[in-house]
């Protein structure tokens, strides 16, 4: 058996990585039916934490 020339196999790994990253981004970015997405949950948690920190800092001494 002979190996195919290097020019024939060049770029295949990049395509596979892009497909895997696309699937991962879709799983993380979009929630299932009725569920909120992971990104939305993360942003809501950051917003809540910032509001609580801001309220704590503004308390009088």
For 4-53, how does the pLDDT look when each residue is reduced to its tens digit (9 = 90+)?
776 666 667 888 999 999 988 887 777 666 777 777 888 899 999 999 99
| Cβ pair 26, 17 in contact under 8 A | no
pLDDT at site 28:
76
What confidence score (pLDDT) does residue 42 get? 85
Read off the pTM: 0.52
Which residues, at least 6 apart from 42, have a Cβ–Cβ distance to it below 8 Å?
Answer: none
Q: H-type helices in 1-61, by residue range?
A: 6-9, 12-29, 38-57
Among 44, 21, 40, 22, smallest CA distance to 32 is for 40
């Amino acid at each position: 058996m002979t190996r195919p020339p290097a020019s024939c196999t060049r770029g295949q790994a990049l395509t596979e990585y892009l497909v895997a990253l696309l699937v991962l981004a879709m799983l993380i970015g979009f929630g299932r039916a009725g569920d909120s997405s992971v990104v939305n949950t993360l942003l809501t948690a950051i917003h809540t934490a910032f509001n609580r920190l801001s309220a704590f800092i503004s308390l009088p001494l």
